[in-house]
Structure 1
Amino acid sequence: MRKLLKASWWVVALSVALAFVGGPAMAGPVTPPLTHLSSGTRHSLAVAEDRSLWAWGLNNAGQLGLGTATSEAFLPTRVPGMSDVIAVAAGGNHSLVLRANRTVWAWGDNAHGQLGDGTRTRRLSPVQVPGLMRVVAIAASSSHSLALLDNGAIWSWGDNGSGQLGDGTRISRLSPVKVYGLTKMKALAAGNQHSLGRRLDGTVWAWGENGVGQLGDGSATSHEMPVQVAGLTNVTTLAAGQDHSLALRTDGTVWAWGWNAYGQVGDGTQTPRLSPVQVAGLTSVTALAAGEDHSLVLRSDGTVWAWGDNEWGQLGDGTLSQRLTPVQVSGLADGMELSAGSLYSLALRTDGSLWGWGGSGSGELGLGLTLWRTSPVPVVGLTDVVSLAGGYLSSVALRSDGTVWVWGFDGLGPASTPAAFSAVPTQVTGLQDIMSLGTGSTHTLALGADGSVWAWGRNSQGQLGDGTTTNRSSPVQVLGLSDVVALDGGGNFSVALRSDGTVWAWGDNWCGQLGDGTTVSRSSPVQVLGLTDVVAVAAADYHALALRSDGTVWGWGYNYSGQLGDDSISFRPTPARIESLTEVMALSADGLHSLALRLDGTVQTWGDIHGEYLSGGPSVIQYFPTPVPGLTNVVTLVAGGHHALVLRSDGTVWGWGLNNNGQLGDGTRFERPAPVRSTGLLGTALLAAGKYHSLALRTSGSVSGWGSNYMGEVGDGTAQIITRPVRVP
């Protein structure tokens, strides 16, 4: 019957997997380096170095803790509100965490009281398990939970139909109860309907279901109170599968007992074992993990070995062949921690990277796919990036496969709403074959390979160009635009350059920033008057610039701070040439200032880079282009809200202006009126800047970020100011 049930699941999952065959591999965002793992039936949990919590996989009962129970998470996703996490335990359809203050929190399915909150109410977000303090370890099974206290006692709650709570009854418990007669306990593990504990003296005790010998006492009789596992001493570590158990001894050998139909005991047979037997050929083992019907160990040399059921490739040896004795998991070295789910396996390496193999019908491998893997593959971060853009409180990246990834505040709802921002990159659905990006204050633009333009975000002024003023959480096509070769987003407006050299704009127009000779806002594109032979465009809060093929620069829109560079403060509803600028090769504009890169590698700037935020006195406005002193050999440049960055030919990055959020990347928060070097950015290929944060695309295809991070716009998974560049995971 058990094999028949698994076969039924295999058919269902295969039909899901086949729907994805031929689709692109979605290498997705991942946490900062990880420190701890736990796998449930079809979902996984991980703790990052910063003690944040991450979850992925099946979410039908809210077991991911994301506030919903509507869909899977195919990529690791940060669990909101969970900080200072030091241990995790994933059960069947529920989750537990142990926090630094030694309290336990739970969420997900609660039909049997496995959340321990005194109810049977499902919880979509973490709730504290009341009455538990000074906890040092936790474990979770299909429908019951365990906690070890610092005084050596074990407490349990949830389903008790087989006596797995160890309180001498078979009555399920909605709140924690003490396991009978156990003292001086040092470790625990939870199987499907049985539980294990290790005492200080190295003996192992077990309780609950024992129909196939999973308690290891030499019988097949279930026990409502703990019994000693026969013949085991000097044990250091325990693991429990669905109906089998594992123990690691101080001499590095592994012992197993219980259900063995798939060889999960590892003794070369398929005979159930009622008492422990040594797993064949294993020495120098340092860690254990047990899945539904397979087993894993980590050896001191960093290699991983597996045995048992392999129908979904959960043994990671490149085959689907069942193994009755251990085989080495292929291509995996430097292992640090293991975790096994129902039909899949995970390994955490010493470098903090996560690797997975086996079944992934609900995204439990965290790879963005539902296809299974017969050998380990990395749960990769944001790589192969070819372009970047920074918005007011958000960031966007374009990967070489044409997909678009965003992080930070989405601008559509209150910033206090967890769903309003993402602290790590998330893929924008519905976009493919994208060539370049642009951002406004709260909207984002994408240029397709076919010359079409797509937009999403806030649309109060028509800045999305779809003929409406309706906010959009997903991309919509800009009306009537084709053959576009470049674009940019201003405060609440957008500009696009077509292949014929004409410029088009839409959105807010209160100061003539659309360049059509009026101050009427437009919800669909209109042509900027009088401009031809344009090769580049740039848009800021309320003004725009265009570079023509002859090296001249033209500007229009707001000009109170001299950002049009014509030595006046009059706004212009149509483009006018900036007379003193020639031989320009690149432009950038944001906030109240503008930048130009000349053919000789020098930089010109004009407008007000500090605005009203300059703390040392009144703003210093430059009404016409002025050279930035000391800068030569510049190859690219970018303007932030009140700061600027340049990349020189020697690979160094320099910045100046406002630095209250560390947006210059020099490790300080001091304003810089002249360029200072940003730290740790050798090997930079491209720069991008938001209002108060900055981004760098490295030559390796990875992304670094720094500066303001209150809405996760740096993308490192935190919400704190970053004054030196950190890698976006």
Structure 2
Amino acid sequence: MTHPYSSRLRGVLGVALGLLLSVGCGQQGASLDSTGVEGSQAAAISRTKPKVRIAAGLWHSVAIRADGTVWAVGNNSAWQLGITSVEDTATPVQVPGLTSVTSVAVGDFFSTALRSNGTVWGWGALHRGQLGIPTTTSPTWRQATPVQIPGLTGVVAVAAGDEHALALKSDGTVWAWGDNWAGQLGDGGDGYRETPLAVSGLTNVVAVFAHDQTSYAVRSDGTLWAWGDNTFGKLGIGSFVSNSPVPVQVQGLTNVVAVTASPSHALAVKSDGTVWIWGLTNPTTWDMALAPVQVAGLTGCSDVAAGDGFSLVLKSNATVWSWGINNQGQLGDGTQHDRFTPAQVPGLTTVSALAASDTHALALRADGSIWSWGSNHHGERGDGTPPLYATPSLVQGALVGGQMVAAGASHSLLLNSDTTVWSWGLNRAGQLGDGTTVRHTAPAPVPGLHDVKAIAAGGNKSLALLYDGSVWQWGDGLLVPTKVAGLSNINAIAVSDTHALALDFDNKVWAWGNNTEGALGDGTWTSRATPALVPSLSDVMKVVATSHGSYAILFSGEARAWGSNMNGRLGISTGGSSSAVPLPVVGVTNVVSIAGGKDHGLAVTASGQGWSWGSNVNGKGLAGSASSSPSPRPMSIQGPVDVVAGDDTAFAWDGHGILWAGGDNGLGERGNGTRNPLELPNPVTGISNGVNSVAAGGAHVLAILPDGTLWSWGDNSDGQLGRGVPLDAISPVPSLLD
């Protein structure tokens, strides 16, 4: 699943790997040119020469096996697995032509390997100079076969950021190449470089680290130096005002033995076993430390790894400790609850090395086995779990004859023919209504709910309308269905991640929830927890709730919209400002169906004409190649009879029984067997005889077919498809990388 934090930070990152370094105690150096106090730099480097067997990139992982060969798994869009025959794989493949490899490092879409003879080899994306060779060397922007990086010999360590790399030579110098927009190459400039060049003035280095667009080096005197991106104060220099294109000393740290970094924070271990953190220390509260501060409660530590908002520590007793964001099981503690105090990862012992990326982690154990946890959308854990559910298939254990489906961000609801409600998927906010926060992958009844007429879901919220006209809600912290006070005589319901709507038998609309964008339609921007009438709106036959927005169809066939007008999704012919009161959707009449996402709207008229407005990125407006527009434009599909939408998707079915899809497809939500982006609408595979009910969630889709069977496709991070093992592993599981 996604997390609010992820939308506020750049969603890509490279390797986050801390290394155990046996650097002895020493005094802080006075300048870049000072010499170490422990003796010769050659001796220091020899003692700390790292042997990195595992590395984690954005969506792929790499490991060295005992025979010195390299194996890779996960995403292969840039050929970073060293082969061209697959796009993604959950089963590791051998990188051809590499033997006697001692260390690996990976970026977002490229990989590097250090061989025992001191040469460095690279493969994958090369468009920003990541492979240390001219881009003209390859006829495309990617290179599958590992190539030796020219001019590099005597290398003892490698590191990789998103699109740049570092090499440490035996003489204590650091060499850099690749992207340089934040100064991460340390050459004083910001232009990318296709060939390695020594980082000016940096000597006596015993270890290098890189992540995102930031680089780090530990010198033989135990001081830590950093350069490049300083977002959130990742350089540890007491401010986050500007990046640094040259190495600067991290404040207050001496006797450093291990380092790691993420897009937002960095960690270091000192020789006394304490852990220090700087940057964004708590992404949920936006707490920052512009210089290193000690992490309370941690002693006896030897290594660190960091991902996007989470941290891992390896202790000298070979146990692993974690804290931070946990929406995809990154902490490995068997839950999906964020936690900002370190705690031991259960059941994980005898660990010798760690690696972490955006939302997944790897651990190498003393017996040579590799364990993994967290996300697996591209097979990056390497445990064989299928990473893609891009065609419809039956929901396991679903009852036949369901009347209606609803989908939240990562959970699913089914209204059964016996008027009971069934739920499955993510449950960290109680959205399954079973009194727990434990997810489950197969439909189970919501206790105590019966005589249900309709259901709705959005974000982490769930709603049920009973035949007696009452409305019940759960999720968003409510673990069991709770009656909504002040509502009666209700005929229809709708809910999004931000607010809820109820339509009564007097054809009036009630609204409650977040109102910062005017989604409650009462003329104010004040949020409220209890329902109130939407003024000046009557004769309503249908309501739809989207994130920070609302739609209504009147009995006259007119459509109304209010709330956020992101990218013109209100259909009022202008972009820009939100509206706190309902406004007419211009140019569309005789509307019988309406839907919307975070920045697009859609409608179907009684004559079978489809219209859409707002964004049409990836064809989410079902408008073919039409550009985005705040004014309604015709859909490119013929004869639609109904339409539904997710945040960034849209689905319409026509009179011939075909279900058409548009919008995002990164997780297979368009149901065509791929995750490729598309501009034109596509028919969903295997659905040709119509549908009884369709629901689009955050990135998954549910459909009840005319025979009463329930089908699903798209994201299965938390079991919301009801099709076997969830993609996100919340506890360590064996990887096949070893």
- Greater RCO, 1 or 2 (C-alpha within 8 Å, sep 6+): 2
Query: TM-score by structure 1 length?
Result: 0.47
Larger Rg: 1
